[in-house]
A and B are shown apart, each in its own frame.
Chain A
Amino acid sequence: MSALAYFLEDEGLPTVVLSLIRAHSEAIGNPRSLWVPFELGRPLGPPNNAVFQKDVMRVALELLEVPTGPVLLADYPHDDPTAADRDDWRPPFDFAETIPDPSNSVQFAAALEDEMRTLAPFHRAFVAANQRTMVGLSGMDIEGCRQFFVSYLADPAATNPIPSVPIAEAFRRVVDDLKAYYLEAMMSANPVIPSRPQLENLFWDRTALARACLAVRIRMFADNEKVTHFMGDRGLLPGPQRHRLGLYGTL
């Protein structure tokens, strides 16, 4: 992002970066940055809060009118009011109490199918309420995603459903679609909005899908093929979860 700011400004375009990592902006010295104390992935802060988001934009854009510089680095003074956990939030459905070992492919496939059947009406509700979904990277419907996920889990030589990319990349697209399906379903049918960690921790702790991702990444990491190795190393498990689960420096 900082490189883009430099190149655009060098071409004569005034820029301002919404900086999520203050130390990074300090080190690089963007022409103008507004550091915002929000989650990675939310440079404007809380979703569905137009007043708050517009204030972030106003403060950032007003840096363009400051005549002195470079380097301008200002701090946005307000935290995301939705960043804290909500004790009154519950997911709209119950997860299974036990999850079969993913190495038992028959039992695991049945458990994943049950899990996704439970989620289905809640995902439909999310799409109806929001008129959009982030599912769509793989180009397959969610049933196709589930089937390929189970096939690849059981056999790394499974048929690649997206022959234009390596199979590990196809698998990552399928995982992204499945994760979006789960998280969107978990956010539906409840007026209380959970924090990002509440959602993600629940996903990684309680779902059969996540249990299988944790298992398959070990196999992918050990693969000599570079895309497969990358996906096992850094492509499946988010850094904050790797940190929370004590998996830094290990698998």
Chain B
Amino acid sequence: MVRMTELIPSLQDALDKGNSPTFEGKPFVGGPPLSERRVAVVTSAGLSRRGEPLFRLGDSSYRAIPADTPASELLMSHVSPNFDRTGFMRDPNVIFPVERLYEMAGEGTIGSVAATHYSFMGAGMPQPMEPYAREVAERMKSDHVDAVVLTPV
């Protein structure tokens, strides 16, 4: 199996230096069976819709992406060049698997698909992201979401 930490020294350095953030408490929320859950995607890939402001250096904010957004409308403005883009070029589901969620809902594996999904840009510090993350949580709760899949890059 591929372990990217063995291939990119800068990532290994960050881990070795203990640069991982720490948090107070260990929240762990339950819920109904998967077949009854409403699922949203939150990615840190720096996705936005054409015409929206792009992500910029140090940007901790988020973009809301309606579930019916055509794939042709998605752009990726993440500042890091270190991850693969060619998979996303061919198939947005490798990062933003909304089509897969609709299929799973149709098959009864999950209950339903959220009306809106969200993108942040990873690689920033956690603290500036916190108010935006809590705002996204409120929006998802208003949409009755009770399961979130997070897709990093």
Tell whether, in the assembled complex, residue A7 and residue B130 are in contact, meaning their CB atoms are under 8 Å apart. Answer: yes
A17, A62, A133, A236 — most chain B CB neighbours (10 Å): A17
Chain B residue total in the interface (Cβ 8 A):
86
Question: Which residues does chain A contribute within 8 Å of B103, judged by CB atoms?
Answer: 50, 54
Once bound together, how far apart are the Cα atoms of A176 and B147, in whole Å? 33
Tell whether, in the assembled complex, residue B94 and residue A21 are in contact, meaning their CB atoms are under 8 Å apart. Answer: no
A43-B153 contact in complex given A64-B147, A183-B85, C-beta closer than 8 Å: yes
Once bound together, how far apart are the Cα atoms of A179 and B84, in whole Å? 12
Tell whether, in the assembled complex, residue B147 and residue A14 are in contact, meaning their CB atoms are under 8 Å apart. Answer: yes
Tell whether, in the assembled complex, residue B100 and residue A12 are in contact, meaning their CB atoms are under 8 Å apart. Answer: no
Using CB atoms, name the residue of chain A closest to B84. Answer: A41
Tell whether, in the assembled complex, residue B15 and residue A50 are in contact, meaning their CB atoms are under 8 Å apart. Answer: no
Chain A residue total in the interface (Cβ 8 A):
89
Using CB atoms, name the residue of chain A closest to B54. Answer: A137
Tell whether, in the assembled complex, residue B31 and residue A14 are in contact, meaning their CB atoms are under 8 Å apart. Answer: yes
Tell whether, in the assembled complex, residue A22 and residue B3 are in contact, meaning their CB atoms are under 8 Å apart. Answer: yes
Write the residues of chain B forming the contact surface with A, with a CB cutoff of 8 angstroms.
Answer: 1-5, 7-11, 15, 18, 20-23, 25-31, 33-34, 37, 39, 42, 44-45, 50, 54, 56-57, 70-72, 74-77, 79-91, 93-95, 97, 99-101, 103-104, 109-110, 120, 122, 126, 129-130, 133-134, 136-138, 140-141, 145-153
Write the residues of chain A forming the contact surface with B, with a CB cutoff of 8 angstroms.
Answer: 1-24, 27-29, 31, 37-48, 50, 53-54, 57-58, 60-62, 64-65, 67, 69-71, 79-80, 83, 130-134, 136-137, 165, 169, 172-173, 176, 179-180, 183-184, 187, 193, 196, 199-200, 227, 230, 234-240, 243, 248
Subset of 27 A-B contacts with CB under 8 Å = A1-B122, A7-B137, A9-B27, A10-B27, A12-B29, A17-B152, A20-B4, A21-B11, A22-B3, A24-B20, A39-B84, A41-B88, A43-B95, A43-B153, A44-B97, A61-B149, A65-B34, A67-B30, A79-B2, A130-B89, A130-B90, A134-B85, A179-B85, A193-B90, A200-B86, A238-B83, A239-B11
